[in-house]
Amino acid sequence: MEYAQTQFSGCRPPSPSSLGAGLRLALALGTAALALPSTAAQAAGTLAGTDIVNVAQATYDSPEGSTPITIDSNKVTIKVDELLDVTVVSSDPGDVASAPGLSAQVLSYQVTNSGNGSEAFTLSADTTKPGDEFDSVFEQTILDSNGNGVYDPGVDTLYTPGTNDPVLAPDESIAVFILSTIPAAAGDGDRAEIELSAVANTGHGTPGTIFAGQGDGGGDAVIGSTGARDADSGFFVIQASDVTLTKSATITDPFGGAQPVPGAVILYQLVATTVGSGDLVNLVISDDIPAETTYRSGTITLEGAPLGDADNDGDAGSFADDSIAVALGTVPGGQTRTITFQVTVD
C-alpha cells in the first residue's frame, strides 16, 4: 500500500523538541471538508456528470501553543459515470378484449429511464411471439405526447425509430401505445402476445460494460443491471359473440283444432340464443307480420311478460309498419331470450 505525502506550507517547520512535546496531528483522509451540495437520490443514484469533490485536512498546534494550524490537501474530483438502465411494463390491468377483424386495437406500456443520466431509447414491437393462439398485425407505435396515459388519435405522436426516439431524464417515464389489427380468423378465447422492447441508444449488453466518454455529463457510460434493454408483453383476448334465432308457430283454429283456416290464431315464438364469451350490444329481434294475417295488438311478450306496442311506452317492445320488434340491449354470451306474438289468419 502506498501512502501520499502531505506537504505543508504557510508556516515555519516545527522543531524536533516541539514535535516531541506537543504535536497532535489529526489527518482525516476521506473526509469531505469541501464538497458540492448533495443531489436528491434518483433510481440509479447520483446524477451522471456530478463531480464528487474531496479535500483532506491536517490540524496541529503551533510551536507557540496558540491557535491551531490547519492545512488542506490537494483537491480530488471524481465525475459520476452514467449508468444505463431501462424498464418496460405493460400498463393494461389484464388481457385487452377484442374481436376478429377489428383495426386500431390498442395495448399500453410504460417505458422508464431507470438510469442516472438523460438517455434516448429505441423502441420496437414484436407481434409474432411464439406460444399464443394468433398473431395480430402490427400497425403503429404511438408516443403519448400529452402525457395523459390514454391513446388520443390525432393528438399523440407517431413513433419512427431513429427519428423521434424518446429522450428521458432519470426516473422519467413515457406511455407508449402499440396499435394492431386483429385477423378475421381469430377465434373466441384466443390470445395474442405483443411485446414492446426499449434499448438505450448509447449501448446495451452485459452489465458493467463501459462506453468510454459517452456518458451524460462527460463521464463514461456503464451498462446497468438491466443490460440497458428491457421488454414486457401485453395480450389481446378474443371475445367473439354471435346469436342464433329459432322460430316456431302454434296454431289454434276457431273449432278447437290446429288448422290454419281463416280466423285461426297463430302464436309465433322466437328464441334468441347468444354464443361466445363476449357481449352482443344493442341486440334487437324483429319480425314482419306475414301477408294474409293481421297482428293481434298487445300480444308481444318477452320471457312471458307482456310488452306494449308503442315505441315510447318505456318497455322493450314495439309494433310499427307491420313489424314487431323487441330491443334486448346488451346480452352476454350463453344466454337465451324468448319472444312471442300473435296474428290472426285473414
Provide mean pLDDT across the span 129-155. Answer: 97
Separation between Cα atoms, residue 195 and residue 319, nearest integer Å: 52
Q: What is residue 41's predicted lDDT score, i.e. its pLDDT?
A: 46
Lookup result for grid cell 381469430:
186
- CA 292, 293, 295 angle in degrees (round to 5)? 150
Q: What is residue 43's predicted lDDT score, i.e. its pLDDT?
A: 65
Q: Are 252 and 304 in contact (CB under 8 A)?
A: no
Q: What phi and psi, each to the nearest 5 degrees, are found at residue 285?
A: -105, 125
Q: Which residue has the higher pLDDT, 340 or 313?
A: 340
Separation between Cα atoms, residue 167 and residue 165, nearest integer Å: 6
Residue 289 exposure: Cα atoms within 13 Å on the Cβ side: 22
User: Cell digits for 49?
Assistant: 456528470
Of 258, 144, 268, 257, which Cα lies nearest the Cα of 196?
Answer: 144
Residue ranges and CATH numbers for the domains of the chain are: 16-80 (no CATH), 84-238 (2.60.40.10), 241-345 (2.60.40.1170)
Q: What is residue 248's predicted lDDT score, i.e. its pLDDT?
A: 97
Per-residue pLDDT reduced to its tens digit, 21-74: 333 333 333 333 333 333 444 567 899 999 999 999 999 888 777 788 899 999
Separation between Cα atoms, residue 93 and residue 96, nearest integer Å: 8
**Residue 87 scores a pLDDT above 90:** yes
Q: What is residue 24's predicted lDDT score, i.e. its pLDDT?
A: 36
Q: Which amino acid is at 334?
A: G
Provide mean pLDDT across the span 107-121. Answer: 97
**Residue 278 scores a pLDDT above 70:** yes
Separation between Cα atoms, residue 7 and residue 4, nearest integer Å: 10
Provide mean pLDDT across the span 178-201. Answer: 97
Q: What is residue 17's predicted lDDT score, i.e. its pLDDT?
A: 37
Range name among 37-46, 188-197, 222-231, 313-322 with the lowest pLDDT average: 37-46
Q: Which pTM value belongs to this model?
A: 0.71
Q: What is residue 62's predicted lDDT score, i.e. its pLDDT?
A: 81
Q: What is residue 7's predicted lDDT score, i.e. its pLDDT?
A: 40
